[in-house]
Amino acid sequence: ALTALCAGLFITLMDQALYGQLASFIINVLICSVIYNLTVRQIVVPLAASGLLLLAALPFFQRSGDVLVGHYVNLGIFLTISFVASRIVFRSHANQYVSRLLLSQSKEQLEAETRLNIENNEKLKEMNQQLKRLSFLDELTHLPNRRSFRDYVDYHFDFLKENPKLFSVIMIDVDRFKQLNDQYGHNSGDAILKSIARQINSSINMETDFAARWGGDEFIYASFNKTSEETL
């Protein structure tokens, strides 16, 4: 900016002997004020330095006192206007920069929040599915519970309405289980139930049969389209 102003100053001084104009310097001042995004200090130093230098040198190149006074007035006005214009342009660019920066930060924050929401939704979905699975399992034996058995039967009975098939059910009850609990404690009773559940689970065909803990010491088994011999 200072180089451009000095070039305009030199041309203006050389022009005094011919046309006596300040156009070259004034145009350079306006261009530098609008084109360059300078801080107050960065614009004041070249404007003041070049302006004072021009004011000091003009009397040596411009012999007319009236023209010289006009030049001084015009210089004061244009330097002031140029400074104000530079502040407007600088403030405008600064505001645009801040707006772009805030917009970029907002976009990044929104994308981060979106990713976080998606992750949270996936985790929540997974937890809900896990809770749903757990709600259909017996906590002790890890066999399906009564609710799961009812859903299994309801699901298959919907198809049996149009395509009847043989349906078999076996209820399993552990004999003298209460006496065992009273004599050896509930921990032993739980171990017995787990052992029975493993035996039942290993004895059925998972693709065609279904076994569940009905409650307490009761278990239930169901199968579709099997003969009574196969079921037994």
Spatial distance between the Cα atoms of 69 and 59, rounded to a whole number of angstroms: 10
Counting residues of the chain whose pLDDT is more than 70, the rounded percentage is 71
**pTM, two decimal places:** 0.46
Write out pLDDT tens, residues 80-133. Answer: 777 777 777 778 877 887 888 888 888 888 888 888 888 877 877 776 666 666
Write out pLDDT tens, residues 21-49. Answer: 666 666 667 766 666 666 666 666 677 77
- pLDDT at residue 227 in the model: 82
Degrees to nearest 5, angle at CA 26 with 22 and 30: 170
103-140: b or e for each residue (b if 16 or more CB lie within 10 Å)? Answer: eeeeeeeeeeeeeeeeeeeeeeeeeeeeeeeeeebbee
- pLDDT at residue 192 in the model: 93
Which is more confidently placed, 157 or 12? 157
Strand partners, 167: 224
